[in-house]
Amino acid sequence: MSKTIDDLKAAFAGESQANRKYLAFAKKADEEGFPQAAKLFRAAAEAETVHAHNHLRAMNGVGSTLDNLKEAVGGETYEYESMYPPMVKEAEAEGNKNALRSFNYALEVEKIHASLYKEAIDNINKKEEVYDYFVCPVCGFTAPKYAPEKCPICGASGTKFIKVV
């Protein structure tokens, strides 16, 4: 692999992380009553997304929908089979309950994401039903069509789920 591709991967990761961090900062600024700072954080987050997408395209990281679904299954599977288990063990060993909860939530939800992607692959050539998804704001559990009464991963109320259209 070339140094430029390595640089694009690093830049993509950095820009992606900046986007998520700035959105978290915006949420906090809103909570603290600083709407202008919140808007600035959201604007910068959007710009970071533009940068990340540019880097991903420059390394030919976006394929056909079928290829992208397969890539997503692989990524989610890697996370729940290989990435998160040692992180869970380390957090347990260190007694870091916040990290342990965060890792366990992600590990369980990544299994669901992989399953949803596999289902989408199975249905790729069928006339597809179009429906919304609902995401738990606590753990990220993702449900097709409707929010459950209670999150099966963390127990959060389904009334708190975020509708993704």
Domain containing residue 21: CATH number: 1.20.1260.10
Q: Out of 91-105, 117-131, 148-162, which region has the weakest mean confidence (pLDDT)?
A: 117-131
On whether the CB atoms of residues 142 and 116 are closer than 8 A, the answer is yes
135 — phi, psi (to 5°)? -120, 130
127 falls in which pLDDT band (50, 70, 90)?
confident
Per residue in 19-32, pLDDT (tens digit) is 999 999 999 999 99
Per residue in 79-121, pLDDT (tens digit) is 999 999 999 999 999 999 999 999 999 999 999 999 999 999 9
Scanning the structure block, which residue is given the tokens 């309950």?
A: 97
* Mean pLDDT (the chain, rounded): 97
Domain containing residue 138: CATH number: 2.20.28.10
CA dihedral (49, 55, 58, 62) positive or negative: negative
Same domain for 104 and 74: yes
CA dihedral (39, 11, 115, 106) positive or negative: negative
* pLDDT value of position 80: 98
State which of 40, 58, 76 marks the end of a domain: 58
Mean pLDDT for 9-36 is 98
What SS3 class is residue 154?
Answer: coil
Q: How many domains does the chain have?
A: 3
Same domain for 121 and 85: yes
User: Could you give the C-alpha distances from 148 to 50, 59, 111, 129, 145, in angstroms and in order?
Assistant: 34, 39, 17, 19, 10
> How long a stretch of residues is the chain?
165
Domain housing 36: 3-58
pLDDT at position 128 over 90: no
On whether the CB atoms of residues 134 and 163 are closer than 8 A, the answer is yes
CA distance 97 to 104: 10
Rounded to two decimals, what is the model's pTM? 0.90
Per residue in 38-74, pLDDT (tens digit) is 999 999 999 999 999 999 999 999 999 999 999 999 9
pLDDT at position 129 over 90: no
